[in-house]
Each structure stands twice: as C-alpha cells, then as structure tokens.
Chains A and B, each alone.
Chain A
Amino acid sequence: MGSLSFVVPFAELEVGQHLYWQLGNLRIHGQVFMTSWIVIGALLTLVVVGTKKMERDPRGVQNLLEFLWDYIRDLARTQIGEKVYRDWMPFIGTLFLFIFVSNWGGALVPWKLIHLPSGELGAPTADINTTVALALLVSLSYFYAGLSNKGLRYFEYYVHPTPIMLPFKIVEDFTKPLSLSFRLFGNILADELVVAVLVFLVPLVLPVPVMFLGLFTSAIQALIFATLAAYYIGEAVEEHH
C-alpha cells in the first residue's frame, strides 16, 4: 500500500505522497516546508504592515492586530496566571496564529493551481511531523517555565498531593505531547479527507457545508492547542503552597 490516490476531474486525494527534498542524510517533506514558509511570510507581512504607522486610534490592520493581541492576552492570562503570563504570551500567540493560519490556509487557498511533481500542497498541520514538532516545543517550554520559575522545587509538582501520583505524572509528560500532536494532525487530516471523499462522490454543492464545518473545527483546534499549551505552562509555574 504505502499511498493511495484517486484521480477525479475536480479533486485529487493523496495521502502518504510527498515531495521529497534531500538535505544531507535527511529526506524532508518539501511541500510542508513551502506552505509553512508561505504561512510564516503571510503572518510576518501582516504584522509588519500593521505596526508600520501606528496611530492612537487604530484603524484597519492595526485594529485587527490589537484585537488579536487582546484575545491572546486574555487566553494566556486566564491559563497561566497574572504573574508570569507576559513571558509566555509571544509563544502562545505564535502557536495560535501559526496553527490558525496554516489550517485556514490549507482549506481556503486553491493550492491545486500550483502543480508539484509529487505530492500536493496543503495545510502544514496535516503532516504529523509539523504537529509533533509543535507539541515537543510545548513540552520543552513547560519544563523550562517550571524550572526557571521554581528551580528544583518544580519537581514537587510530581509528588504534589501524594507520592502515589508520581508514576501518573511521569506518564503524563509523555502523553501530553502525544495527544497534542495527534489531536491537531488527526483533525486537520480528517477535515481534508472528508472534503476530498465528498468531492469524489458528489462534486457539486454538497461539500460546501462540510467545508464550512471544517473551517470551524480548524479554528477551534488552533484555539485548543494554544489553550492547552498555556494550561500546561500554567500548571508548571503554579505555586502549591
């Protein structure tokens, strides 16, 4: 098996086919890199344009950015807490915006117009490597947050109510990145597959509501990823006494 593809007039469904780039001994998925760079470029342009001529009364792009800033600040403050949320706001905001723009970009931009020799362009988050990288970053950050805020007292968290919790808390450190990455990857890939299968069966009208549902789930998944990342960091910096 390895890969599967249906070819129909309107859509092509491919899973497990990639545009491979050789980098030293590594084989990397080129299409994921290209879409990630486009997403990063789009976000950077938005932020540079929005902050170039800042005014007292925000208009246009600046207004949008201030709205986003408020939104992310509220998210970080409720999960991480008043004391250290400022240190982690850039991280949470970057995660949220990157995942959100990736998910929506994968669904809204007509990538089909760009033809690749193998594989196809799509949401970078529909590739397990991207989501695992993001989830491992979250793991590293909450360890760093805990250790830098509380020093070795961070490990009290593992035996917090009773030492019986120790094995569970250790297992949790492994299941956190696993569930974070699988949740995002599965949801985005499932959205793409459901739309592709529906287009394959009924090419007209019917896939449209499902596409809107997909946009909605993608937005919620970005919010969930950012919320959980903030929650894990908040859990690590929380004082127990």
Chain B
Amino acid sequence: MDSIVTAASVVAAGLAVGLGAIGPGIGQGSAAQGAVEGIARQPEAEGKIRGTLLLSFAFMESLTIYGLVVALVLLFANPFAG
C-alpha cells in the first residue's frame, strides 16, 4: 500500500474522532448544565432528570461514534488501500 495513503488515512482517522468530539462535548456540557440547574431548582425530580440526561447523552455520544466508525474504516478497511 502506498505510504502516502497510509499517512493520510492515519491523520484523517485522528481528525475524524478529534473534530467529531468537539460538538458533542459542548452539547453534553450544556445538557449537564441544564440538568444540574433543574435538580437545584427541583431536587425531587432528580430521578426523572437523570434518566432523560443519560438517554440524551447517549444520543450526543453517537455523533462522536460516527466519527469513530469513519476512523475505524480508514484504519482497518481502507477502500483506497490498493
């Protein structure tokens, strides 16, 4: 396999996860902020808030996971690896 293709694939795999983690990171931060504010205002709703928060965390996390899938494809099943 071409060494330039290897190098580009490895760099791209790193970028796919790294850049893909920025958005969900910010999103999870603001979701957690909202949850903490909600619990502070209404401590008896903690159970319900926690459940919803975890579910929405998993949705946000899946965006990074898409980046990870792209990275894994580049590393292990590269379509350009002649």
Contact = CB atoms under 8 A, between A and B. Distances in A.
A-B interaction: yes
A147 to B, nearest CB: 28
Sort chain A's interface into a size bin: 20 to 34
Interface in A204-241: 217, 220-221, 223-224, 227
B32 to A, nearest CB: 16
A214 to B, nearest CB: 13
B81 A221 contact: no
Given A187-B61, A224-B55, A224-B58, A1 B81 contact: yes
Contacts of B76: 1-4, 15-16
A183 interface: yes
Interface residues of B, number: 18
A189 interface: yes
A185 interface: yes
Contact of A183 (B1, B65, B72, B81): B65
Contact residues of B: prevailing secondary structure: helix
A182 interface: yes
Interface in A1-45: 1-4, 15-16
B82 to A, nearest CB: 11
A221 B58 contact: yes
B72 A189 contact: yes
Contact of A1 (B58, B69, B75): B75
A190 B77 contact: no
A81 interface: no
B50 to A, nearest CB: 12
A223 B76 CA distance: 29
B1 A182 contact: no
A185 B58 contact: no
A94 interface: no
A179 interface: yes
Contact of B78 (A1, A185, A187, A227): A1
Interface of B: 1, 6, 54-55, 58-59, 61-62, 65-66, 68-69, 72, 75-78, 81
Interface of A: 1-4, 15-16, 179, 182-183, 185-187, 189-190, 217, 220-221, 223-224, 227
11 contacts: A1-B81, A2-B81, A16-B76, A183-B65, A185-B69, A186-B62, A186-B65, A186-B68, A186-B72, A189-B72, A190-B68
